[in-house]
Protein backbone atom coordinates (compact mmCIF):
# COMPACT_ATOMS: atom_id res chain seq x y z
CA UNK A 1 0.00 0.00 0.00
CA UNK A 2 1.16 3.36 -0.86
CA UNK A 3 0.76 6.36 1.38
CA UNK A 4 -1.67 7.88 -1.07
CA UNK A 5 -4.10 5.00 -0.72
CA UNK A 6 -3.91 5.21 3.06
CA UNK A 7 -4.96 8.84 2.96
CA UNK A 8 -7.91 8.19 0.72
CA UNK A 9 -11.05 7.42 2.63
CA UNK A 10 -14.69 7.68 2.02
CA UNK A 11 -15.97 10.86 3.67
CA UNK A 12 -19.56 9.63 4.09
CA UNK A 13 -18.56 6.44 5.86
CA UNK A 14 -15.95 8.11 8.01
CA UNK A 15 -18.20 11.04 8.92
CA UNK A 16 -21.06 8.71 9.79
CA UNK A 17 -18.74 6.58 11.92
CA UNK A 18 -17.37 9.65 13.72
CA UNK A 19 -20.86 11.00 14.37
CA UNK A 20 -21.92 7.62 15.77
CA UNK A 21 -18.89 7.53 18.07
CA UNK A 22 -19.56 11.11 19.18
CA UNK A 23 -23.22 10.28 19.82
CA UNK A 24 -22.19 7.27 21.92
CA UNK A 25 -19.68 9.32 23.89
CA UNK A 26 -22.25 12.09 24.43
CA UNK A 27 -24.92 9.59 25.52
CA UNK A 28 -22.47 7.90 27.88
CA UNK A 29 -21.43 11.26 29.33
CA UNK A 30 -25.00 12.45 29.85
CA UNK A 31 -26.08 9.17 31.44
CA UNK A 32 -22.96 9.17 33.58
CA UNK A 33 -23.73 12.72 34.73
CA UNK A 34 -27.36 11.87 35.50
CA UNK A 35 -26.31 8.73 37.31
CA UNK A 36 -23.76 10.73 39.33
CA UNK A 37 -26.39 13.32 40.17
CA UNK A 38 -28.69 10.56 41.41
CA UNK A 39 -25.88 9.06 43.45
CA UNK A 40 -24.93 12.43 44.91
CA UNK A 41 -28.58 13.12 45.71
CA UNK A 42 -28.80 9.76 47.50
CA UNK A 43 -25.62 10.53 49.44
CA UNK A 44 -26.90 14.02 50.27
CA UNK A 45 -30.19 12.53 51.49
CA UNK A 46 -28.34 10.06 53.72
CA UNK A 47 -26.15 12.87 55.00
CA UNK A 48 -29.20 15.00 55.83
CA UNK A 49 -30.85 12.08 57.63
CA UNK A 50 -27.65 11.43 59.57
CA UNK A 51 -27.34 15.12 60.45
CA UNK A 52 -30.97 15.19 61.65
CA UNK A 53 -30.38 12.08 63.74
CA UNK A 54 -27.22 13.60 65.22
CA UNK A 55 -29.15 16.79 66.04
CA UNK A 56 -31.81 14.74 67.85
CA UNK A 57 -29.11 12.80 69.73
CA UNK A 58 -27.38 16.05 70.65
CA UNK A 59 -30.64 17.47 72.02
CA UNK A 60 -31.28 14.30 74.05
CA UNK A 61 -27.72 14.37 75.36
CA UNK A 62 -28.09 18.00 76.40
CA UNK A 63 -31.32 17.15 78.25
CA UNK A 64 -29.63 14.26 80.01
CA UNK A 65 -26.64 16.42 80.98
CA UNK A 66 -28.99 19.09 82.36
CA UNK A 67 -30.85 16.43 84.36
CA UNK A 68 -27.58 15.00 85.65
CA UNK A 69 -26.45 18.46 86.81
CA UNK A 70 -29.63 18.71 88.90
CA UNK A 71 -29.07 15.37 90.65
CA UNK A 72 -27.40 15.41 94.07
CA UNK A 73 -23.70 14.70 94.11
CA UNK A 74 -21.90 12.24 96.33
CA UNK A 75 -20.98 14.99 98.79
CA UNK A 76 -24.61 16.20 98.85
CA UNK A 77 -25.79 12.71 99.77
CA UNK A 78 -23.07 12.47 102.43
CA UNK A 79 -24.17 15.79 103.92
CA UNK A 80 -27.76 14.53 103.90
CA UNK A 81 -26.69 11.35 105.68
CA UNK A 82 -24.83 13.36 108.31
CA UNK A 83 -27.82 15.64 108.80
CA UNK A 84 -30.13 12.66 109.26
CA UNK A 85 -27.76 11.14 111.82
CA UNK A 86 -27.75 14.43 113.71
CA UNK A 87 -31.54 14.55 113.57
CA UNK A 88 -31.71 10.99 114.90
CA UNK A 89 -29.62 12.07 117.90
CA UNK A 90 -31.80 15.15 118.41
CA UNK A 91 -34.94 12.99 118.23
CA UNK A 92 -33.54 10.63 120.89
CA UNK A 93 -32.83 13.59 123.15
CA UNK A 94 -36.34 14.95 122.50
CA UNK A 95 -37.88 11.56 123.28
CA UNK A 96 -35.94 11.44 126.54
CA UNK A 97 -37.17 14.93 127.44
CA UNK A 98 -40.75 14.02 126.57
CA UNK A 99 -40.55 10.91 128.71
CA UNK A 100 -39.33 13.10 131.56
CA UNK A 101 -42.16 15.54 130.94
CA UNK A 102 -44.61 12.64 130.93
CA UNK A 103 -43.36 11.49 134.31
CA UNK A 104 -43.66 15.04 135.68
CA UNK A 105 -47.22 15.31 134.31
CA UNK A 106 -48.11 12.01 135.94
CA UNK A 107 -46.86 13.32 139.29
CA UNK A 108 -48.70 16.64 138.83
CA UNK A 109 -51.92 14.79 137.94
CA UNK A 110 -51.55 12.68 141.06
CA UNK A 111 -51.09 15.78 143.20
CA UNK A 112 -54.04 17.54 141.56
CA UNK A 113 -56.18 14.44 142.08
CA UNK A 114 -55.28 14.43 145.76
CA UNK A 115 -56.18 18.10 146.06
CA UNK A 116 -59.51 17.51 144.31
CA UNK A 117 -60.27 14.58 146.60
CA UNK A 118 -59.31 16.60 149.63
CA UNK A 119 -61.47 19.53 148.56
CA UNK A 120 -64.42 17.28 147.74
CA UNK A 121 -64.21 15.46 151.05
CA UNK A 122 -64.08 18.72 152.92
CA UNK A 123 -67.22 19.90 151.27
CA UNK A 124 -69.21 16.95 152.63
- Write down the pTM of the prediction: 0.43
pLDDT tens-digit profile, the chain (124 residues): 555 555 566 667 778 888 899 999 888 877 776 667 788 888 899 999 999 999 999 999 999 999 999 999 999 999 999 999 999 999 999 999 999 999 999 999 999 999 888 888 886 6
Give one DSSP letter per residue of 21-59, joined into a string.
Answer: HHHHHHHHHHHHHHHHHHHHHHHHHHHHHHHHHHHHHHH
Contacts of 72 (CB under 8 A, 6+ apart): 80
CA distance 65 to 115: 71
**Amino acid 92: pLDDT:** 93
**Amino acid 123: pLDDT:** 66
Amino acid sequence: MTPETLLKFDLTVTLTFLLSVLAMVFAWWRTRDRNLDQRFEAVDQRFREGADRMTRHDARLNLMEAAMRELPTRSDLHQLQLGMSEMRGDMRALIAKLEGQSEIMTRVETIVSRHEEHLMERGK
